[in-house]
Amino acid sequence: MLKPTHIQGVAIEALAQEFGTPLYLYDGEKIVHQIQTLQTAFAAVPLRIKYATKALSSLSVLSLIRKAGAELDAVSLEEVKLGLLAGSSPAEIMYTPSGVSFAEIQEAVQIGVMVNVDSLPLLEKFGQTYGSTVPICIRLNPHILAGGNLKISVGHKESKFGISIEQLPQILELVQRYQIPVAGLHIHTGSDIYDAAVFLKGGKVLFEAAMQFPDLRFLDFGGGFKVAYSPEDTATDIPELGRIVSAAFLEFCEKYGRALELWIEPGKYLVSEAGYLIVQTTVVKETPTLHFVGVDSGLNHLIRPMMYDAYHDIYNLSNREGATAPYTVVGYICETDTLAAHRQLHTVKEGDFLVLKNAGAYGFTMASNYNARLRPAEVLVWEGKAHLIRKREQFEDLLRNQEMIQW
């Protein structure tokens, strides 16, 4: 796999020295390229790309994504408000909550975003409150196990997300009783899906259910497109996916009797490969069995390896030639926070900069202040220039909103 030293002509090591480490670094051109790839692949259908804001919600990234022609899917009111601050209009935002209070739902309606309803109790309360006045989307659980990892598969029968497809009669009864205008149907089966057949399987569920709703404007297929994290990984063939899914969608629209919009919700696909986490080596520790490399970061900044067993390619930016040896890269957190185990790296010494790839998605957004550690800075490279889009936290940020009792 490629181990870049520069992004858009800007030296990564120079950025690490200028902004300090740990540092989240994003390639804006890669994000735009991913959006354009989807737009080309689905050019045969009326497409709306709803970026999954939770993957990376920094304002400048959201603004760039909007500039490139994509809209937003938000899972919290805070994400909705970030999208609005970044320039999106309420009409461009789908709000897909799970288990939130009805007060939050009401605030979302007041803002004017499309609410994606994912439970029968919420559907009934929504109907009782708004009747025929507010269009909604309904999230269905298609009972499809996808992605190969239960932690990131959300469309199987035991998932908390969506209304079971087996409860379609109850959905229809509530919609009829309260005359709820249903503008769209939605499914999302999970993450790391590379096979177009899985999307078609979910699409079949959508198509069959859609025939019961005469006034739809769109069908939302969700996201979960797979990117390659390791050299052996298989990525989703986006052109092939677009061709197969678009053909099935157009065939459905002909059967339905009119054209609908096709919505997709990529998150990881847009930002994962655009992101890098730059860390600096603090110690090289030899034991009788392992060579440990300690770095100035940990699971507080990138939790995916510990939470999901996720693989992130890693390389020594400061030494890219000569002998290699197996190293286990670990963080500075008082937990087992292995970032990369048994990796062949060019000889590592204290002070070297290491780069973790595919860190754009679910990296900074899942970062924390565990061990009272500070969250890193974020830099976006655009048109050959590095922009500091989030300052590194200071100790004072940990104290903000705290009040100490005077005993």
| CA 241, chain centre distance (Å) | 19
**Tokens (6 digits) for 85:** 């601050």
| CA 58, chain centre distance (Å) | 12
DSSP string covering 337-367: -EEEEEEEEE---TT-EEEESS-SSSSGGG-
Of 197, 334, 404, 405, catalytic: 334
User: CA-CA distance, 358 to 275, in Å (whole number)?
Assistant: 6
Mention every residue, 6+ apart, whose C-beta is less than 8 A from residue 32.
Answer: 64, 68
Mention every residue, 6+ apart, whose C-beta is less than 8 A from residue 81.
Answer: none
* Residue 89, helix vs strand vs coil: coil
Distances (CA, A) of 125 to 20, 72, 99, 119: 50, 25, 13, 10
Helices (H), 112-228: 120-130, 168-178, 196-210
Bridge partners, 138 (sequence order):
117, 185
Respond yes or no on whether the N-terminal peptide bond of residue 22 is cis (omega within 30° of 0): yes
User: CA-CA distance, 319 to 327, in Å (whole number)?
Assistant: 14
> Residues 350, 355, 359, CA angle at the centre, nearest 5°?
140
- Would you give the end-to-end CA distance of the chain in angstroms? 58
Q: In this structure, which amino acid lies at residue 371?
A: N
334 is catalytic: yes
Q: Which residue has the tokens 């804006």?
A: 28
* Residue 154, helix vs strand vs coil: coil
Q: Are 177 and 221 in contact (CB under 8 A)?
A: no
DSSP string covering 75-87: SSHHHHHHHHHTT
Closest by CA to 205, choosing from 277, 273, 242, 157, is 157
Question: H or E stretch including 6?
Answer: strand 6-7
Catalytically active residues are 334
